[in-house]
Amino acid sequence: MKEFAYQRAEDVSGAVALLGADPDARFLGGGTNLVDLMKSGVERPGRLVDVRQLPLGAIESTPEGGLRIGATVTNSDLAAHPEVRRRYPLLTQAVLAGASGQLRNMATVGGNLLQRTRCGYFADVTKPCNKREPGTGCPALEGEHHNHAILGASEHCVATHPSDMGVALTALDAVVTYETADGPGELPLADFYLPVGDTPHRETALPPGALITGVTVPPAPVAARSRYRKVRERASYAFAIGSVAAAFDVSDGVVREVRLAFGAVASRPWRARAAERALTGVPAEAENFAAAADAELAAARPLRDNAYKVTLMRNLVVAVLTELAEEAAR
Amino acid sequence: MTTATTGRTTPKGVVGTAHTRVEGVEKVTGAARYAGEIPFADLAHGWLVLSTVARGRIISVEDGPVLAMPGVRAVLHHGNAPRLETHFQGVIGPPDPTTTLFQNDRVAHLGWPVALVVAETSEQAREAAESLLVHYEEEPHDVDFRGDRPEAYPVDGFAPGVVEKGDLEAELAASAHVVDVQYTTPEEHHSMMEPHAAAARWDGGRLEIVDSNQSTTWVQSDLAQMFSLEPSAVRVRSEHIGGGFGSKGVRVHQVAAVMAATVLQRPVRVVLTRRQMFPLTGYRSPTSQRVRLGADAEGRLRALEHRSVSQTSTVHTFVEPSAGVPRVMVDAPAHHTANLVVPLDVPTPTFMRAPGEAPGSFALESALDELAEKCGLDPIELRVRNEPARSPVSGQPFGARNLLACFHEGARRFGWADRDPRPGVRREGRWLLGTGVAGASFHAGAGPSTALATAEADGSFTVRISAADIGTGARTALTLVAADALRVPVDRVRVHIGDSDFGPAMFAGGSMGTRSWAWAVDAAAEELRERLALGATIPPEGITVRSDTTDAVRRLAQTERHSYGAQFAEVAVDTATGEVRVRRMLGIFAAGRIVNPLTARNQLVGGMIWGISMALHEEAVRDRASGGLYGGDLAGYHVATHADVPLVEADWVEDHDPDDPVGIKGVGEVGVVGAAAAIANAVRHATGVRHRHLPIRPDRVLMARETGATHA
């Protein structure tokens, strides 16, 4: 392996300073993705700045009634937190649907948002990949792509974002906070991931050298009735082939408010705004759920072998919303 | 997972009673050392460099810059490697040229071994190996496996290529019911927990290799021939093995370690990474199988054709003999079976748990289910009507064939009698439920073995045999066999295995290990007991008796011996998402005398879990453009997780063969046979859709429902 320097940061400004302007340096959280990528040669950092010991491990209520989740909170602690479970059931479900117990004990919230795609071409340095090596091409377009993107992709990259947690946070309008040498900043999750276009190697809008310090989840009473459902190719320990995060407020059989986000269909967690618009104010009935899903999926551009995802997402939306509507009617 | 098992025969000694593994405490406390972690003084580390092209020629290896890197001691490649003997008859045939490293400039597949970098530390070796520039003259490659490749040709592997009797077309034409279908199974990998690892050193003119393998004497014999050494000058040890499944024979890591240790005259260890294992340690070929069945109005077979095509590399032939399954399971007046192979620019496939039987039983046992439906018969009744009295091929009698007993006991325990045969009518919430059944068989062979039994002066006994415990519990089973033969308590017997110095013995493969070794251990221990009964005084060095079963194996009565089984599965399918979940499985087996119910059950249940994995998860995807695998690691290659493995029960029926002196049949492989078919048949029963292409992935279930047809 390539030798690398390792430093443990004591505080946030120290961490930002340690990383500095060094393009060869990386922040190390739980290491559940970065260390794998170092072993496969996708990442070859000269320096790791370990941020796990930073005082960013708390989950606190905000004055507005939301939650502020520190960047180094582990996935396990996030999922188990009583306020997360009470206010945002879909977030707990999403986190628990990901990885394995051991990985969730290590993985951090900040790292989860920055994890890289699990596209097999990206992970294999002997193969071309525009995300890993811009300009080398995308073999997934003609090659293996049954679990690649159907929404928002481009001819340069059809990789998907692997996070489950991110899908729930996207539905919840979460905001990412960060620190740079020039001071703090924040980005709504909706603007956090960049469109693919012809720059698939540029994944987020974070300024260079920025350290994610946390995620703020606004109050969302609608999330009291919410669900995360993930479909994968085995019952556990696999990335999604399609997932839905949904929160639903129904009264008198009419949809008052709805939040809907999709996973494993795009280069980022996909907020299904067209579906949300189609659903708001209409009767909570299966045909309306299907019509809403169709409104969102009209933009889908499936490849040779992933057209099933259009069907899958439509079926998932109908199934999850039907379940939530039945729950509301009880 | 529950595995309630009830023994029926009351054992006289310890054989037949449950014993935990004799090395169990060592294994669970980490005291048991594996090949990659046994310390050696002055050890150097080798790291293999694999080709990045799928076919071509090496033009140059730029070893200069790499030799200047920290800690690097040598770069071996075709330009400087020692010459090896490449034409010899090894234990299982001529060597696969993949293993006779660096003898020419040809590249036969992506991931072909092109160089070995040796350095002071493993990290230095890896960094240097990843920095090594190799230039190739690339040639167009062909990795496109299809069943209709015209160049497919029949091959006699470890089973005959083509076996035919009767007029197939005439019998098909005269049949009341005909099934003519195509099944496929994908490329599958052994994926055992412990990666391949070997350390080699020269010690006083003798080559010593510490390895993880399925037979120390096999590796010893082949390496001796390859390096032109006397077998007695080579010692191979393999104490603990974290799984083998057919992949741990002679492989590149041992050859690389010996080569480097010889060049550098110091100990060298070579360990493969998980990613390197995918192209370098064998795999199960994908198969394309056509099955044609013709039956009369009562469901009795008149015609059977099973034609299986698999792939091999361009440098070595291995055929996956899937069409061998009907040669044991069912007879018909016209009975045609053929195993064909297509050479492609891919790694050489090899034996993988139930080679032939696993994919072949998926096809045949699915086709029989299809035929039963056409005949309007219960699938078990169809099998009852077609149970052969003699071998369909050899005409020999079967030794102890208790297949129907397995079906009947399984049907009773599973609740088969209450089954509504109509497909697609049982719903529970979002799940459609169904049940399926399939038969299983596996050859019960034996290989010559030698064993040493010693009566020690302190009253204890030591048994030595170059057996391999690849996780099967063989060490424990042999301890029980020895204790019974010696008529002493288990705690007075120590069994040492995994050392080629103990003499020739069968390898751990073909479900023949325990049967073959127990025979030799029993013979040595029995003779020792008789000698001691004469009242001999035991000298300080003990009294040792050596057995050799070569003649006894040759004298074995000529009958066809197999183990059998009946697999039952219940599945739940969500057709809106394509998810398939196995709810419960029951396997009832007839596998001769069970030595240790605890470890036997462990192997059978493990095989059934392999079947779940084969049915629903496992699939190595070959990327046509590069010729290599897409996602060739355990993140990309899915095996069943605990959450996929619910209630899996294995049990067995009485299975006694009066003509067999050993009575043990082996349980390493029969557990996987038929399991995938039982699940696919259950999916059909649940949904009304027949899946003929494994694995039964969510997208395939979803699209099959969309199109109303089976996935093509």
Q: Are A248 and A212 in contact (CB under 8 A)?
A: no
Name beta bridge partners: B310.
B287, B341
Per-residue pLDDT of B134-181, as tens digits, reads 999 999 999 999 999 999 999 998 889 999 999 999 999 999 999 999
Provide the terminal-to-terminal Cα distance of chain A, rounded to the nearest Å. Answer: 58
* Contact flag A236-B702 (C-beta cutoff 8 Å): no
Q: Are A284 and A323 in contact (CB under 8 A)?
A: no
Q: What is the DSSP string of B172-241?
A: HHT-SEEEEEEEEE-BB----SSPPEEEEEEETTEEEEEE--S-HHHHHHHHHHHTT--GGGEEEE----
Q: How far is CA B236 from the centre of its chain?
A: 22
Of A41, A121, A235, the CB nearest to B641: A235
- Residue of chain A with shortest Cα separation from B632: A120
Rounded Cα–Cα distance for residues A169 and A91 (Å): 7
In a domain, A33, yes or no: yes
Tokens of B135: 């230039």
Strand A183-188 versus strand A59-61 pairing type: unpaired
| Residues near B684 by beta carbon (within 8 Å), at least 6 away in sequence | B369, B423, B434, B436, B690, B691
Name beta bridge partners: A176.
A187, A215
SS3 B125: helix
In a domain, A288, yes or no: yes
- Residue of chain B with shortest Cα separation from A322: B430
Q: How far is CA A216 from the centre of its chain?
A: 15
A134 in contact with B, Cβ within 8 Å: no
- For residue B695, whether the previous peptide bond is cis, meaning omega lies within 30 degrees of 0, is yes
- pLDDT recorded at residue B535: 86
Query: Chain A contacts of B130, Cβ < 8 Å?
Result: 41
Domain boundaries, chain B: 1-32+397-445+556-712, 447-552
Strand B647-652 versus strand A183-188 pairing type: unpaired
SS3 B381: helix
Tokens of A111: 């790292």
In the block, which residue shows the tokens 């494993």?
Answer: A264
Rounded Cα–Cα distance for residues A122 and A124 (Å): 6
In a domain, A209, yes or no: no
Sheet with A67-70: list strands edge to edge.
A59-61, A67-70, A211-217, A175-180, A183-188
Rounded Cα–Cα distance for residues A193 and A113 (Å): 9
- Long-range own/partner contacts, residues B88-91 (CB < 8 A, 24 or more apart): B88/B222, B88/B225, B88/B226, B90/B218, B90/B221, B90/B222, B90/B225, B90/B250, B91/B215, B91/B217, B91/B218, B91/B221, B91/B222, B91/B507
| Residues near A90 by beta carbon (within 8 Å), at least 6 away in sequence | A168, A171, A172, A223, A226, A227, A228, A245, A246, A247
In a domain, A139, yes or no: no
- pLDDT recorded at residue B10: 55
B430 in contact with A, Cβ within 8 Å: yes
Rounded Cα–Cα distance for residues B674 and A253 (Å): 50
Measured over the CA atoms of residue B478, residue B482, residue B487 and residue B491, the dihedral's sign is: negative
- pLDDT recorded at residue B193: 96
Q: Are A144 and B621 in contact (CB under 8 A)?
A: yes
Q: What is the 3-state secondary structure (H, E, C) of B290-312?
A: EEEEEECCCCCEEEEEEEEEEEE
Among this protein's residues, is B541 annotated catalytic?
A: no
Identify which of B593, B457, B598 has the alpha carbon closest to the alpha carbon of residue B518: B593
Identify which of B636, B110, B271 has the alpha carbon closest to the alpha carbon of residue A126: B110
The tally of domains found in chain A comes to 2
In a domain, A160, yes or no: no
Query: Chain A contacts of B52, Cβ < 8 Å?
Result: 126
| Same fold for the pair B1-32+397-445+556-712 and B447-552 | yes
Rounded Cα–Cα distance for residues B692 and B711 (Å): 7
- pLDDT recorded at residue B559: 87
- pLDDT recorded at residue B707: 53
SS3 B616: helix
| Residues near B451 by beta carbon (within 8 Å), at least 6 away in sequence | B463, B464, B465, B502, B503, B505, B517, B520, B521, B523, B524, B546, B547
| Residues near A201 by beta carbon (within 8 Å), at least 6 away in sequence | A130, A131, A132, A134
Query: Chain B contacts of A235, Cβ < 8 Å?
Result: 581, 641, 643-644
Residue A324: domain span: 222-329
Q: Percentages helix, strand, coil for chain B, rounded to the nearest 5?
A: 30, 25, 45
Distance from CA of B313 to the nearest CA of A (A): 21
Per-residue pLDDT of B89-135, as tens digits, reads 999 999 999 999 999 999 999 999 999 999 999 999 999 999 999 99
| Residues near B527 by beta carbon (within 8 Å), at least 6 away in sequence | B453, B545, B547
Radius of gyration of chain B (CA): 26
pTM of the model as a whole: 0.97
Radius of gyration of chain A (CA): 20
Q: What is the 3-state secondary structure (H, E, C) of chain A?
A: CCCCEEEECCCHHHHHHHHCCCCCEEEECCCCCHHHHHHCCCCCCCEEEECCCCCCCCEEECCCCCEEEECCCEHHHHHHCHHHHHHCHHHHHHHHCCCCHHHHHHCEHHHHHHCCCCCCCCCCCCCCCCCCCCCCCCCCCCCCCCCCCCCCCECCECCCCCCCHHHHHHHCCCEEEEEECCEEEEEEHHHHECCCCCCCCCCECCCCCCEEEEEEECCCHHHHCEEEEEEECCCCCCCEEEEEEEEEEEECCEEEEEEEEEECCCCCCEECHHHHHHHCCCECCHHHHHHHHHHHHCCCCCCCCCCHHHHHHHHHHHHHHHHHHHHHHC
- pLDDT recorded at residue B456: 98
SS3 B153: strand
Side-chain-facing half-sphere of B346: CA atoms under 13 Å: 30
Query: Chain B contacts of A144, Cβ < 8 Å?
Result: 621, 623, 630-631
The CATH fold of domain B447-552: Aldehyde Oxidoreductase; domain 4 (3.30.365)
- Residue of chain B with shortest Cα separation from A99: B635
Side-chain-facing half-sphere of A22: CA atoms under 13 Å: 16
- pLDDT recorded at residue B351: 97
Number of H helices, E strands in chain B: 17, 28
A298 in contact with B, Cβ within 8 Å: no
B699 in contact with A, Cβ within 8 Å: yes
B429 in contact with A, Cβ within 8 Å: no
Tokens of B179: 């099934």
Rounded Cα–Cα distance for residues B380 and B357 (Å): 20
Identify which of B69, B194, B42, B62 has the alpha carbon closest to the alpha carbon of residue B123: B69
| Residues near A188 by beta carbon (within 8 Å), at least 6 away in sequence | A173, A174, A175, A176
The ranges of chain B with pLDDT < 70 are: 1-11, 705-712
Of A40, A233, A319, the CB nearest to B698: A233
Of A234, A241, A306, the CB nearest to B617: A234
Return the axis-axis angle of helices B252-264 and B216-226, rounded to nearest 10°: 50
Assign residue A41 the CATH number of its domain: 3.30.43.10
In a domain, A242, yes or no: yes
Rounded Cα–Cα distance for residues A260 and A168 (Å): 9
Tokens of A232: 């994968």
- Active-site hit among B85, B618, B669, B706: B669
Assign residue A274 the CATH number of its domain: 3.30.390.50
* Contact flag B630-A143 (C-beta cutoff 8 Å): yes
Across chain A, which has 330 residues, the per-10-residue mean pLDDT values are 93 94 92 96 96 97 98 98 98 97 97 97 96 98 98 98 98 98 97 98 96 98 97 97 97 96 98 98 97 98 98 98 93
* Contact flag A316-B643 (C-beta cutoff 8 Å): no
- pLDDT recorded at residue B158: 84
Query: Chain B contacts of A234, Cβ < 8 Å?
Result: 616-617, 638, 640-641, 643-644
Q: How far is CA A53 from the centre of its chain?
A: 23
Domain B1-32+397-445+556-712 of CATH type 1.20.1270.360: no
